[in-house]
Structure 1
Amino acid sequence: MSKNVVRGSEILEILHGLPLIKEYLFSLYECRYADFFRCLATIEQNLLIQDRYLAPHATYYVREMRIIAYNQLLQSYSSLTIKGMAQSFGCSENFLDKELSRFIASGRLNCKIDKVRGIIETTRPDSKNFLYQEVIKKGDLLLNRVQKLSRVINI
């Protein structure tokens, strides 16, 4: 991101005329997550929802950008407190807990929430285990297709 976007001469030239977008980009790059969330909310309200072509996709875009920001912070730590993360993002602990729970359940974030201790623990996905699961899943799909094909051929 640094080479192509943040330091790209064409991008920097355009950003002079778009201060909100510039703040949005650099707040994510410089890990100023509270500023990033504020800019994201402003962009959603003033740009995305106002545009008739982008409006249907505004919720999706905002959700994906929040996931990127959460992942960026979580990759830096093995564990951190919910309170500290909520302060970093400038939101309430309750909102953060609900949102992270949703993203963890859908498999978008690799972490666990320990509500008793108030800690978010990052779980690094094991690449060999992931590859094994992927091979099993694809093998099962292939086997099902071959069985369907054999039934069609026998009829």
Structure 2
Amino acid sequence: MRIGELAKKAGCGADTVRYYEREGLLPPPGRSEGNYRLYDAGHLARLAFIRNCRALEMSLGEIRTLLGVKDGGGADCSGVTALLDAHIGHVDERIARLAALREQLAGLRERCCGVTPVADCGILQGLAEGGGEAAAGGGRKCLGDAGSLCGREAG
């Protein structure tokens, strides 16, 4: 099959196929007399494996390692489980960073009820004071409707 057909079957673009070839994740395909790339079922299976790994947000290095183990047919899969454990650790770290980011954004959001003049907007003031870090512990709170303490010190 040619690159367009392979890409369509794998659910990606031809540029993605070429990229994985350049990165050495896909072996070079054969060529037709007209110098078109010709792929087989093995290329499709390998591309599906790569795409599944990418869907799990694995890096190219991690994928390269997994493919090396898969291709090498080692004695056991301890390297695979170790790699996955490390990837789970990276995901846990990212979740913690995202939770902290959400908290900072929520702190900013609490600083304004959305109906104050722009000059008094607590969100914009919080960002000017130092972004989300200053906003998370900021003293300005929106305490209700448009006529209340939006943008002014709560206390």
TM-score over 0.5 (shorter chain): no
Q: By percentage of residues, which structure has more strand?
A: 1
Higher helix fraction: Structure 1 or Structure 2? 1
Query: Higher relative CO (CA 8 A, sep ≥ 6), structure 1 or 2?
Result: 1
Report the TM-score when normalising by structure 2: 0.29
Larger-Rg structure = 2
Give the structure-1-normalised TM-score.
0.29
